[in-house]
Chain A
């Protein structure tokens, strides 16, 4: 069974600063995908960034980047130049190819960006 662990239930950061959210996962699969999703208060869950496990290069989307360490099964999210709109729950998620292709989620990290 796959598991995803987010060890930081809550974090806060000052506007314009950089913050890193941690995520580790456990799997015996070799072909899988990792995602970070953002869930703003009372709003829709949206994709932030994704990483294919077979790619060594870390994914980047504007101010969001990941540090993917496959051997360590670690997938952290770095948010640069934090903005007030980044305040949200952030979920790390794991998905394997084939079968249900369900997303397995971590418990989430509540990020607050302070002005």
Chain B
């Protein structure tokens, strides 16, 4: 099993609240990713990082922000949650060197904004 952890697993929160979704990995991977997935749908990349102090936006525009201060930690923040942010958020990581290496995924955070 991959050592990548996401908390919380489920979150129900009211509109306008600030939230941070946590993602940590213990594998020393340089590359980390955040994907957004609506139920039963495909995954869309919203953020990625090559390493410490490196963050980039993904293909799907998102109002969320990320930071990468430590290799093992890649939190995602929503300053003001809205119902349109309701979705599942999956964090993933991979080692550097070759794209043949698979991504390891966390269990995901299912976010509901009321």
Contact = CB atoms under 8 A, between A and B. Distances in A.
Interface string A29-72: 00011010100000111110010100000000000000000000
Contact of B99 (A37, A96, A107, A108): A96
Interface residues of B, number: 27
Nearest to A89: B40
B81 interface: no
Q: Interface of chain A, helix or strand or loop or mixed?
A: strand
Contacts of A43: 107
Interface stretch (A14-22, A79-87, A98-106): A98-106
A102 B100 contact: no
Interface residues of A, number: 27
Given A33-B100, A44-B105, 7 more contacts: A32-B99, A44-B1, A97-B99, A105-B42, A105-B43, A106-B42, A107-B42
Contacts, number: 58
B45 to A, nearest CB: 5
A54 to B, nearest CB: 10
A47 B31 contact: no
A50 B40 CA distance: 22
Contact of B31 (A35, A45, A101): A101
A110 interface: yes
B90 A45 contact: yes
Interface string B80-114: 00000000001010100011101101111000000
A11 to B, nearest CB: 14
B41 to A, nearest CB: 7
Interface string B15-59: 000000000000000010101000011110100101000001011
